Amino acid sequence: MSTSALAEAIIGTVTLRRKAANVRAPEAEPRRVVRRDGSIVFKIRWLTDGRSGTYRQETLEGVSLREARALLRLHRADAKEHRKKRLGRGTLGELLDLYLRHYLSDPTRISASWRTTAETMLRLHILPALGSLPLGKLRALTVDEYQKARRDEGAAGGTINAEVSIISGGLAWAVRKGVIGASPLPKGSVDRQKPRKAGNPFSPEEWQKLVHAFEDEAAWTRYARIVRQLAPVTPKPDRAPPSPEALEAHRARLASAVPVFQALLVTGCRVSELLYLRWQDVDREAGIVTFRQGKAKTTDEPRSKKLPLVGPLRDLILSRPAGVAEAFVFQKPSGGRWDIRRLRVVFYRAQKLARLSPRRRLHDIRHSASTWTARAGATPSQQQGLLGHASARTTLDVYTHLQPNDLGAVLEMLGRLALVEPLPVQKAPDATGR
């Protein structure tokens, strides 16, 4: 954000607060007042917090205009110094760096996946835009401008809300630890963005195209013509094309992500739950797989869901190279856990090869699992157990997407219950009225 934009944001915030309070702006000069008895006094007004807060007024008797001006400057300097002490003298970037190192790095409080997400948001978006901003100049309107800029870049509402929560969470942590006296963003001063629209599940036909996308020779030939870099990233046309052998190796690396997509559908897991599955969570004797879900919102206790090791899930897991207890089940061909961002790019590449539109999110596989099980006749409790939701309402309201055609079997069942035998179909009269 440019200096002029920040200045406009700050001025706009002060103006809005003054209008909301319905008070006059503090005078730049002492105001001369002549009383009824003929004596002259000076009235001075200033903001107790430098740029915001409440107004203070003082009536000065027996002083000259020069002395009144000096006293007003002194009051304003004290208020400005008070604000600096209250908010701290550092920048927002310095404060968020402390927040990252001392709070977000604590594995007993924060999951590894959220720490990775927070680090990415800080590095790519928050710090470049707001990191150099002094804490004393941080305003709610400044954050509103940041949100608007992120919306213009195409960021989803949920992503923007997560970035703002990092900022507000860092400020709240700093207040609790005594780093600053008060947060410059009072609770409720920043509006939340509307979340992304409901999920878009795959149809069975679209899913088959997705999982076989890297086997389509025609689609791969089209893709190979533009490849300039052998990684699941955006191809760059300024690089020389790789050899056919390197292209096939690249193709095999991309295709190695397909079992992960299939496991996401079979288990209904969130991406992080599946990628952090370890061999110690797979009990072959009992036939149970335990997926860690982080901490519950109410009890702060670790949550998990257990699924039976049967059918396609058993085949997907036992086909993986077995490792030590702490090793991840779903690893890259080169070893190590899949990076969520890398996996997402491979997922988008598969959709482009399969020519699927509109483009789905990786999380839409979870929506597909819920929708398909509902169409297959699963009860709400079974759906809730598969997805691991604390409430079945979330499963039904957010993750289940039924179409009118899905209700045909329900109507037929009701018809069989309501009617002993189906009523004859009434024919429409012909042209003669018969």
| Three-state SS sequence of 110-123 | CCHHHHHHHHHHHH
- Residue span(s) of the chain under CATH 1.10.443.10 come to 204-408
Residue 10: band (very low, low, confident or very high) from pLDDT cuts 50, 70, 90: very low
- Tokens 């997407």 identify what position? 401
For residue 351, the model assigns a pLDDT of: 94
The CATH superfamily of 204-408 is Intergrase catalytic core (1.10.443.10)
Confidence check: pLDDT of 84 > 60: no
Comparing 405 with 207, the larger pLDDT belongs to 207
Torsion sign (Cα): 153, 158, 161, 167: negative
- Residue 426: what pLDDT? 55
Q: How far is Cα 369 from Cα 277, in angstroms, rounded to an integer?
A: 19
Q: Judging by DSSP bridges, how do beta strands 31-34 and 282-283 pair with one another? A: unpaired
Do residues 272 and 116 touch, judged by C-beta distance below 8 A?
Answer: no
Residue 23 confidence (pLDDT): 42
In this prediction the pTM is 0.57
Per the CB < 8 A criterion, the answer to whether 236 and 244 are in contact is no
Residues 396-425, buried b or exposed e (16+ Cβ, 10 A)?
beebbbeeeeeeeeeeeeeeeeeeeeeeee
Residue 2 corresponds to which tokens in the numbers above?
């440019």
Q: Which segments of 259-350 are extended strands (E)?
A: 282-283, 288-295, 302-308
pLDDT of residue 238: 63
- Residues of the chain with pLDDT > 90, as a percent, come to 27
Measured N-to-C along each axis, helices 140-152 and 157-176 cross at an angle, to the nearest 10 degrees, of: 150
Dihedral (CA of 355, 356, 357, 363) sign:
negative
Strand order, beta sheet including 282-283 = 282-283, 288-295, 302-308
Classified as helix, coil or strand, 398 is helix
Residue 14: per-residue pLDDT: 43
- Report how far residue 235's alpha carbon sits from residue 240's, in angstroms, rounded to the nearest whole number: 11
Residue 99 Cα to chain centre, angstroms: 18
Q: Which of 1-5, 11-15, 96-100 has the highest mean pLDDT?
A: 96-100
And the tokens for 354? 């399969």
Where does 122-156 have alpha helices with state H? 127-130, 140-152
The number of CA neighbours under 13 Å toward the Cβ of 83 is 19
Q: Could you tell me which residue, 338 or 230, shows the higher pLDDT? A: 338
Residue 423 pLDDT > 70, yes or no? no
d(CA 296, CA 401): 26
Average pLDDT along the chain: 80
More confident residue, 244 or 412: 244
| Cα–Cα distance, 83 to 14 (Å, whole number) | 15
Which of 160-164, 201-205, 375-379, 392-396 is the least confident region? 392-396
Give the confidence band of 157 by pLDDT, cuts at 50, 70, 90.
confident
Residue 434 has a pLDDT of 59
- Per-residue pLDDT, 19: 43
Residues spanned by CATH 1.10.150.130 within the chain?
92-176
CATH number of 92-176: 1.10.150.130
Question: Most confidently modeled of 52-56, 108-112, 208-212?
Answer: 208-212
Q: Identify the pLDDT of residue 17.
A: 45
By the 8 A CB rule, do 32 and 165 touch?
Answer: no
Higher per-residue pLDDT: 162 or 12:
162
The encoded tokens of residue 352 equal: 């482009």
Q: Please, which pLDDT band fits residue 6 given cuts at 50, 70 and 90?
A: very low
- pLDDT of 13 higher than 70: no
H runs (alpha helix) in 153-241: 157-176, 204-211, 217-224
| Mean pLDDT confidence for 210-237 | 76
SS3 content of the chain, % helix, strand, coil (to 5): 50, 10, 40
